[in-house]
Amino acid sequence: MIYSKSFDRCIKELSKLPGIGKKTALRLSMQLLKMNQKDVEDIANAIIDLKKNTKFCIRCGAMAEGEVCPICTDNNRDKQIICVVEEAKDVFLIEVSGKYNGVYHVLGGRLAPLDGINPDDLRIKELLERIREDQVKEVILATNPDVEGDTTAIFLKKLISKNFDIKVTRIATGVPIGGYLEYTDEITILKSLENRREML
Ligand SMILES: [Zn+2]
């Protein structure tokens, strides 16, 4: 419609990404057009490879190249401590701090009844199975410190305590109120893990 069909198509495709409006898509397309062929192909191939090779671990739900992620197969990790997070990217954020030695469990979201997200939509059954199978001693609830994240944590605490006699902790909100894990630096994440408190 503007100059070329291909240019138009590139704008249309890039606009499908969250946070990329028409204007940004236009600027990025222009930038890609100015770059050399190899760099553009590297970007395109990285995206295709990402989709082709990255799966989600069948145990914890974190990103993996095979069926099971490197954290779940690492014998040095303590399988009896599970840190529960909302999304696979949260695992990466906690891993950056380099101090956590337990394993993870990705819920795949958080409870949001108004948006139609109920317990059955999250990987809660799988969490309970892991607690039983691995004789887990502590579950750290690291859902985001906001209303929905807190609601999810309280729900899980009740459910876990109903079925198991184990320690359930909640990360400390050293992060600003309403702050999300992804906007928090690694020192704050580390502190909020270290200062976790037992939920009673
Ligand atoms: Zn895993």
Residue pLDDT, tens place only, 143-194: 988 889 999 999 999 999 999 999 999 998 755 544 566 666 777 777 888 8
Q: How many domains does the chain have?
A: 2
Q: What is the CATH number of the domain that holds 22?
A: 1.10.8.420
Alpha helices, DSSP H, located in the chain: 5-14, 22-34, 37-53, 70-73, 88-97, 124-133, 147-163, 186-194
pLDDT tens-digit series, residues 17-41: 999 999 999 999 999 999 999 999 9
Summarize the chain as % helix, strand, coil (round to 5): 50, 15, 35
Centroid of ligand 1 to alpha carbon of 134 (angstroms): 14
Write down which residue in 18, 33, 53 finishes a domain. Answer: 53
Q: Give residue 100 CA to ligand 1 midpoint distance, Å.
A: 14
Contact 84/61 with Cβ under 8 angstroms? no
Q: How far is the CA of 129 from the centre of ligand 1 (A)?
A: 14
The pLDDT tens digits for 52-85 are 999 999 999 999 998 999 999 999 999 999 999 9
How many angstroms is it from 67 CA to the middle of ligand 1? Answer: 8
Q: Is the domain of 148 the same as that of 100?
A: yes
| Lookup result for tokens 């190249």 | 65
